[in-house]
Amino acid sequence: MDGTAVIVDVGGGGVCHALLGTETIRCRPRKRLLRHRELTSSILAVGDRVAVTLLPDRTGVIEEIYPRVSVVSRKAAGRVPREQVLAANLDQAAAVVSLREPDFKAGTAIQLCVGARQGGMEPLVVLNKADLGTPEEVAAALQPLRHAGLRCIATSARNGQGLDELRRLLLGRWTLFFGQSGAGKSSLLNEVCPEAGARTQAVRAIGKGKHTTSGSRLHALPGGGFVVDTPGVRVFSFWSQPGEDSVAGVFPEITRLAHGCRFRDCVHLHEPDCAVKAAVARGEVDSDRYRQFLRLTRR
């Protein structure tokens, strides 16, 4: 084997591009890997580390897929339940939402952050299109998220607000860019990584029935680090029920109050002597946050 490579994009049948050293090569997995894949999930994802043998024509054969240390996935559209892996082996996930066009929804940002935590990635909320509102509106939108201990940044791809800070937060990191459709994610990416637009067009041009990308793609950032761009989503549907730890980190006030409930397994819905419900009734816990918590934890 010639070395370890990182998957850059994935097409049909496992055909992909991988970064081997400084060279991006076209690869195919061994048939034995395809035979052992799970039918509910794709065999390869952007960010996967793989063992590659380089052939004389400068294409590669994937001999082994190494275990993932982090992964963010969602339920793919369609009748048959199937896991869509957005990216693997990254250390942070930027949840891109917008203040306007479409209007900001705290619940969407929370869902994305829980998905990041569930997958083992550190969440970062990027509120784009901040130029479409007042500083007071931006602060009000981010206040409950910051109160929950989430890292937040307000940006505008149109006037450059927050872009220097965003570049600093991405520098040297492996970051997933995901979020709601229309939030301006691609515009932000093109600002922090000018090559991203050109590269995406080039890969799509390769296709024409031969290599259709999944939509996710790895881009190298100027100065160091990588970003995985993904298609926007209207709703982030969890592939599996979020674990307690993933939700607890985004709702610290509810987690703290839960220790005062009569029952250890209280779900804070119908049980008597529930400290969380009592706090909501007294106005100590925001009712919208409480409803978001229930939507994420009710099975």
Model pLDDT for residues 204-213, shown as the tens digit of each residue: 433 333 333 3
Average pLDDT score over residue span 33-51: 77
Contact 240, 112 (CB under 8 A): no
Region 136-149: mean pLDDT is: 91
Q: What Rg value do the Cα atoms of the chain yield, rounded? A: 21
Helices (H) and strands (E) in the chain, counts: 10, 13
CA distance 147 to 110: 12
Q: What is the pLDDT of residue 214?
A: 44
CB proximity list for 202: less than 8 A, separation 6 or greater: none
User: Amino acid letter at 11?
Assistant: G
Q: Is 101 exposed, middle or buried (0-12, 13-18, 19+ CB in 10 A)?
A: exposed
Tokens of residue 93, six digits: 């996930």
Write 253-261 long-range contacts (CB < 8 A, 24+): 253/147, 253/148, 253/285, 253/289, 254/285, 254/289, 254/290, 254/293, 257/285
Mean pLDDT of the 270-298 span: 89
Q: How confident is the model at residue 36 (pLDDT cuts 50, 70, 90)?
A: low
Q: What is the mean pLDDT of the chain?
A: 85
DSSP lists the bridge partners of residue 74 as 84, 238
- pLDDT value at 148 more than 70: yes
Instruction: Catalogue all structural domains in the chain, each as residue range(s) with its CATH number.
Output: 3-65 (2.40.50.140), 71-229 (3.40.50.300), 251-297 (1.10.40.50)
Strand partners, 98: 128
Q: Per-residue pLDDT tens for 75-90?
A: 777 677 777 888 999 9
The larger pLDDT score, comparing residue 36 to residue 90, is at: 90
Residue 213 pLDDT: 34
- Cβ atoms of residues 83 and 239 within 8 Å: yes
Give the 3-state secondary structure of residue 251. Answer: coil
Amino acid 91: pLDDT: 95
The answer to whether the beta carbons of residues 31 and 41 sit under 8 Å apart is no
How far is 89 from 121, CA to CA, in rounded Å? Answer: 9
Query: Mind listing the pLDDT tens digit for each residue in 49-107?
Result: 999 999 999 999 999 999 999 998 887 776 777 778 889 999 999 999 999 999 998 88
Per-residue tokens: 173: 């990191």
Per-residue pLDDT band at 24 (split at 50, 70, 90): very high
Residues 114, 120, 125, 129, Cα dihedral to 10°: -100
Give the CA-trace dihedral at 183, 298, 237, 196, to 10 degrees.
Answer: 50
- Residue 87, beta-bridge partner list: 72
Query: How many Å apart are CA 82 and CA 40, to the nearest integer?
Result: 5
* Average pLDDT of the segment spanning 255-276: 90
Among candidate residues 176, 5, 18, 24, the one with its CA nearest the CA of residue 87: 176
277: closest CA among 295, 259, 258, 263?
258
* Mean pLDDT of all residues in 159-173: 96
